[in-house]
Amino acid sequence: MSGNTQQTKLEVKAREWLQERGVSIRDIADLVYYLQAKYHDDLSMDICEFNVNQVLKKREVQNAILTGIQLDKLAEDKKLDQPLQKTIEIDESLYGIDEIVAFSIVNVYGSIGFTNYGYIDKQKPGILQHLNDKSTGECHTFLDDIVGAIAAAASSRLAHAAADDELLDD
Ligand SMILES: [Mg+2]
């Protein structure tokens, strides 16, 4: 579990924005546990959190977080032009670009991430249920997919690590 612990400005900002939007590392690690507990004996929350933190070191993940949250915030403040304002504000089901942004995260650790992402997107456990609660007045059209995707990617990383695969952390 070595590796570069120094965070870039981009990573610091992405982590700050997740926190500001009500998503903790622990929340995402809970999703990883939900996805992976049945496949690994003695899976610990530390291992889940470690894998989430590794995923957050990736530049494409940081960019997806910042892009998605920015659009959510603009929609929440009603600052987008129509028709995009309405589309994102009501989380229109045929929009689909929120999922495309999430796929850029899921991609990072290979194709098993897609299975995990599809599953967790259907089940919506834990923090995903909160992010999908439309009664809060908050807009998380992008963030719910991004959080699910980070958990799916971290699960894939964990699975590869358990299989002693060479990891893609550089
Ligand atoms: Mg969404």
> Which tokens hold the place of 57?
């070191």
Q: Answer whether the bond into residue 83 is a cis peptide, omega within 30°.
A: yes
Q: What distance in angstroms lies between residue 139's CA and the mean position of ligand 1's atoms?
A: 10
Residue 79 has pLDDT above 90, yes or no: yes
**Ligand 1 center–CA 91 separation, angstroms:** 6
Distance from the alpha carbon of residue 11 to the mean position of ligand 1, in angstroms: 22
Cα 157 to middle of ligand 1, angstroms: 23
Residue 126 CA to chain centroid, in angstroms? 13
Determine the distance separating the centroid of ligand 1 and the alpha carbon of 27, expressed in angstroms: 17
Distance separating alpha carbons of residues 90 and 35, to the nearest angstrom: 28
State the amino acid at position 23 in one-letter form. Answer: V
Q: How far does residue 73's CA lie from ligand 1's centre (Å)?
A: 14
Cα 135 to Cα 32, 82, 86, 130: the distances in Å are 26, 22, 16, 10
pLDDT above 50 (res 1): no
Reading phi first (left if > 0) and then psi (alpha if -120 to 50, else beta), residue 164 is in: left
- Residue 41 CA, ligand 1 centroid: distance in Å: 32
* Range 17-162 classified under CATH 2.40.50.100: no
Model confidence at 71: pLDDT above 50? yes
Q: Is the pLDDT of residue 169 over 80?
A: no
* Other residues' Cβ atoms within 10 Å of the Cβ of residue 96: 9
The domain spans of the chain are 17-162
Q: 115-144 pLDDT, tens per residue? A: 899 999 999 999 999 999 988 889 999 999
99, 84 contact by CB (below 8 A): no
* Residue 101 Cα to ligand 1 middle (Å): 10
